[in-house]
Chain A
Amino acid sequence: MPDLSWLFSLASHFPLDGMDMRFMQQALVALVLLAPMTAALGVQVVHYRMAFFSDAVGHSAFAGVAIGLVLGVDPHLSMPLFGLAVGLLIMFMQRFSALPSDTVIGVVFSAVVAGGLAVVSRNNTIARDLQQFLYGDILTMTETDIVWLCGLFLLFVLFEFLAFNRLLYAGTSGIIARAHRVPVAFFEYLFSALLALVVMFSVWGVGVLLVTAMLTVPAASARNFARTAGGMFWWAIVVGTSSAVAGLALSVQPWMGTATGATIILVSCFWFLMSVVAASVRNERQF
């Protein structure tokens, strides 16, 4: 396992009370890795209209853990793998089914939620973990999780470097892109796989209920701030990452004492309000 202590010692210099504690350092590192990924992928989620897809993958987290526990597999492994399988299954069904895309997602969504609940109802020991999946807890991220997150981050950078333009093409019009010899299916599967993995890690952080917000709110704000597609990518990262850090800092203040995930989303919603004002000043439509 790679040694990440240098990363945590770097995080300990962050000017915030409690940063001398390891779990706080881990939480900060996890957020600084996770937030830019969700924000940047969110730009593509908005462009591709895939918010419902991410929601469905997020909701498969509980079934992933439940199946892991039943089969005796570490939930930290079974959850992301199950999410990946659900994401790829949705993409596959969308491509080969005559049903509208949101109907396909709706069916898979129901199946994974019902599957998760069915397993839990047979096995009460898992039920107490349910709350963590609903609300998430970034403070419980383990060092192993963070090593995986670092690997995922490298993949993400590589993907955005190689696939950003092609995904923009495919998102603009699949038919044009295919006619113009862009391997649309390949990039779409790759994107769904990466998105599914990032969503699953986000569930640890902010919970099932708020995972879609991590993807869409920074992208929606960036849409108002930016003037170019390239600019939107950077604005989303700025909004997402600053919200994550500020949300963590605020949530641990004694006078706040709020859940970290919820606080992060509230900060990014504040960013969104500011973006609406900025767009109004430029006389553009904001919503």
Chain B
Amino acid sequence: METDTPAIIFDHVSVTRSGLNILDEVNATVPKGSCTVLIGPNGAGKTTLLLALLGEVHYRGRITLSGGRGLRIGYVPQKLNLDRGMPFTVAEFLAMGVQKRPLWLGISRAAREQALALLEQVHAAHLIKRRVGTLSGGEMQRVLLALALQQKPELLVLDEPSAGVDFEGGRLFCELLDDLRRTRKFTQIMVSHDLGMVAHHATCVICLKRRVVAQGAPRDVLTGKVLQALFGMHMGLICAQDHTHAMPGTARQNKGEHHHA
């Protein structure tokens, strides 16, 4: 499980777009084998940090991956901008990444069996014959997770996987991820808005508001003070009443980066 060895080190990572600082000198460490969750208000740069990690946006500073750029990464986006009427089955969706033979010559038995095995792992074997465009938000998420697992990832990157999924669906998805992480021993980094989920499933939290406001274990970081700094007064009031998620006074705050309180 989680070790002290870092899987990812963000070293003074900054992203500027049209003169606006989206990320400003982000310093953070993601422990190997952890479930690290990025939290922060809208526009805090959470998705941008993931995209920088994937090499999709230009950044200054350094992102060090243990295992280098050859590290096997699985990526699950928030949603897929897909033509919903396109004839494209879940079996084909999973076979396109592994099958050498073009899909217009059909799906090989090996690719179909592998697709089914992956779907079984995400409890979605019944979806194999469905069209990708007809899947619900929660079903699509499982299929996208299966596609990411096909990479045998050492690092699994998820952008708000519980967006557009009901509460129960989100909880089951997180439990599934916990199980998979234990058996497959990958490092998981994800963005989430659901603080209840973060408190329950995260092993490490990075609070982001263009800069890192705080980072560490959830019980150390999810304090009223940090959440107020992160989300403003409104959130502070809620957290002051909810002591299960807010345990004041124990946060390890990054010096000099706590300027929004």
Contacts and interface: CB of A to CB of B under 8 A. Distances in A.
B148 to A, nearest CB: 8
Nearest to B79: A173
A106 interface: no
A165 B93 CA distance: 9
A86 B171 CA distance: 50
Interface stretch (A27-35, A50-58, A116-124, A230-238): A230-238
B54 A173 contact: no
A176 to B, nearest CB: 5
A231 B87 contact: yes
A128 interface: no
A229 B96 CA distance: 10
Interface in B29-73: 51, 54-56, 72-73
Contact of A176 (B75, B92, B95, B100): B75
A161 B102 contact: yes
Interface stretch (A207-215, A220-228, A266-274): A220-228
Contact of B88 (A162, A179, A228, A234): A228
Nearest to A231: B87
Interface residues of chain B: helix, strand, loop or mixed (majority)? loop
B4 interface: no
Residue of A46, A47, A173, A232 with most chain B CB atoms under a 10 A cut-off = A173
B89 interface: yes
Main secondary structure of the interface of A (DSSP, over half): helix
A173 B93 CA distance: 12
A234 B104 contact: yes
B83 A229 contact: no
Given A160-B104, A164-B103, A180 B73 contact: yes
Contacts of B150: 180
Interface residues of A, number: 31
Contacts of A102: none
Interface string B78-114: 0011110111110011011101101111110000000
A220 to B, nearest CB: 10
A172 B132 CA distance: 11
Given A161-B102, A172-B82, A180-B97, A229 B89 contact: yes
B147 interface: yes
A175 B77 contact: yes
A13 interface: no
A233 B157 CA distance: 33
A160 B105 CA distance: 11
Given A175-B77, A284-B85, A230 B104 contact: yes
Contacts of B87: 223, 226-229, 231-232
B129 to A, nearest CB: 10
A176 B102 contact: no
Most chain B CB inside 10 Å of its own CB: which residue of A169, A175, A227, A229: A229
B85 A164 contact: no
A165 B75 contact: no
Nearest to A236: B104
A16 B87 CA distance: 36
B96 A169 contact: yes
Interface centre among B80, B86, B106, B150 (most CB of A within 10 A): B86
A165 to B, nearest CB: 4
A164 B157 contact: no
A179 B157 CA distance: 9
Interface in A39-69: 46-47
A179 B73 contact: yes
A233 B104 contact: yes
28 contacts: A46-B83, A46-B86, A47-B83, A165-B100, A165-B102, A169-B96, A175-B54, A176-B144, A178-B54, A178-B55, A179-B75, A180-B73, A180-B97, A180-B151, A181-B72, A182-B97, A223-B87, A227-B131, A228-B87, A228-B92, A228-B103, A229-B87, A229-B89, A230-B92, A230-B103, A232-B86, A234-B104, A285-B85
Interface of A: 46-47, 160-162, 164-166, 168-169, 172-173, 175-176, 178-182, 223, 226-234, 284-285
List 5 tightest A-B contacts by C-beta distance, closest first: A179-B75, A164-B102, A233-B104, A230-B103, A226-B87
